[in-house]
A and B are shown apart, each in its own frame.
Chain A
């Protein structure tokens, strides 16, 4: 084996010298997991602000009843594109960025298993984003069928929908390649002694998430391909006159869509499971049960999809099945929440910004979980379908869940990534403003939904005016607070602040903290031995 390697080193010697592009080409051609992780995170932050501007547009229109700014169809484009961009452009790439940076370091590997394909996984995203954003400027405008692009709305709209469909195809390809890379890296590149049950929980949650992605992204590709052929080639998948059924789109879509929801939250669980023990200075309580709970959530996610479509008409047995299977998910999720609390119990706790976001996550995400349980109850759901209660619910789990965990992880690992400490005061301001404004924005939406305000409508009845105004003020505050985050990250990345030690957090014990801050270009060139 050694001889073969010497031979190879000789044969490719010229490549090793000739091939180090600089400037922009360094980023375009890079095969380094840290460079690619950084690209993912920057892309995600950019899309987060683009999606945020669309949210500004939505909340500005809803600030008062009546039509102020937009035509109703443009309002639909705003809600649709806000959803698509935040889900596929901001949250998912952010977690893949974390996976790229952290997984090789946490398992003691030099890089990802497929470093070149890793580059392609990222560089597929900017073209997809370009397709999505271009759709605003074509005749008929951007997709306006909601981020779920239900047929028959999606089989009717203009060319913008085609661009959206192709963008989703490309982002799906990117996700599948990224996931194959992550699964292979985790299963094949671990340092000696790093058995599966010794892996940090962030790695575990990503392993399971990646399997979910490989399983369901192709299903989404199938669904939108059927939409495309129904639109342009005369197939009848979603047309009752041809023997098809528009509701079939919902079934296929949510078979993808529900696991997708967990794709966006499981890595968040992973990040929180790294942060809490570090600042409680105690090992994670119930490590094995966390692993099993994550797996259970992933498996259950495949048999609950129709709870998104209780109002489409379903046999009572179907309603009961999907109601009970959905409520069953509360059990493993509860295991997780209690494990985090038990980890903190009698811990020697300090509350730096990552810990604040993690504790905030547990509190606010749990509320989103509870409203999820309420929505799982079929008769309640039939009342609340397509109201602002649903909007409140999924923003509690996606913003206060996924996004807060992304913030927690960013502050947690920024010292490692950049070699500098972030500004703690700025971070705390960012946390408290985000937490307060988040609740100001989304808590009133529960009341609006219970009172029957429908979502995706640009105008509303007079009695909803007060809560909408409060929500809009909260949304503007939340959006502006995120500038503090950018400020903090930029300061840190440009070398402001104190130099970070190799292990800035006393209670952190995973492998990345054994490397220097910032870590070497290839994390572990010789594998560490894990005992």
Chain B
């Protein structure tokens, strides 16, 4: 039951979680089948993704509804802040695994493969980053940092500014500033994604740089790919709060939904800076 007391909020029984579980179950079975050449696995996967979207739409919808209905007191707000911080920390650790792999390859495994003991196996291999490894013969060109990636850095940094301008608008009850700031942020996010797609296209067609291009290709595409996925999710989240802002949601005092998205957006921004320095530049 809701609102047993003034102090605590406890939601009613909910049907959304079980939809999420069934969605992930069918996604997992679908993906496993699809990866092992059972074509109908693809449909199971798509069905699962659709169910997941349906679940998220319903679940977040009821959270927004409860929030606007005034069910959430200061304590719930603090819980959301704690929860979002924990979630972002877990995301940081997820990226840490891939950055760790990049570090391990560049600093340890690639130099080992070029040392004197490995000359018997691969006499011609020169251990120098970027590399596709000693056994991958194809030639490729690494991605240059100061073209599209540098522009993308500027775009993401600017989007961090625009989302803050939107926040200031919200804090001083200036709806126009809030909505324009968010719209600009979304536009920048989408531009980033467009340029990233263009860059991938260039990599595959002009540079012969692919996911299969050894150590460099693996780390490059997995790190930037997961980042791009997070930017996509972040952009969708921004669209949701833009819609809510237009619908008149959020007040200057009560707008964790906005802040959670802004935190996430800044996190995605910071990951990009690390990517730009460690993957593209150095």
Chain A positions near chain B (C-beta within 8 angstroms): 1-2, 4-5, 7-9, 11-12, 15-16, 19-21, 25-26, 28-31, 109-111, 113-117, 119-120, 123-124, 126-127, 130-131, 134, 158-159, 162-163, 166-167, 169-170, 173, 176, 179-181, 183-184, 187-189, 214-219, 221-223, 225-226, 228-229, 231-237, 239-245, 247-248, 251-252, 255, 522, 525-527
Contacts and interface: CB of A to CB of B under 8 A. Distances in A.
B101 A15 contact: no
6 contacts: A12-B2, A127-B25, A188-B78, A229-B222, A243-B215, A251-B100
Contacts of B7: 526-527
Q: Give 6 closest A-B pairs by Cβ, nearest first.
A: A241-B135, A222-B97, A243-B215, A243-B133, A120-B17, A234-B212
A64 B110 CA distance: 46
A9 B4 CA distance: 9
Nearest to B69: A11
B96 interface: yes
A527 B22 CA distance: 36
Contacts of A5: 3, 6, 70, 73
A244 B3 contact: no
A302 B256 CA distance: 33
B248 interface: no
Given A163-B28, A163-B29, A242-B215, 10 more contacts: A4-B73, A29-B14, A31-B13, A127-B24, A127-B28, A167-B28, A219-B96, A229-B218, A229-B222, A236-B136
Given A9-B3, A243-B105, A123 B14 contact: no
Contact of A131 (B29, B101, B217): B29
Contact of A162 (B17, B35, B89, B100): B35
Interface string B31-61: 1110110000000000000000000000100
Interface string B189-201: 0000000000000
A8 B25 contact: no
B211 interface: yes
B281 interface: no
B140 to A, nearest CB: 12
A242 B133 contact: yes
Majority DSSP secondary structure for residues of B touching A: helix
Interface in B200-237: 210-212, 214-218, 221-222
A115 B11 contact: yes
B8 A245 contact: no
B141 interface: no
Interface in B165-188: none
A218 B86 CA distance: 12
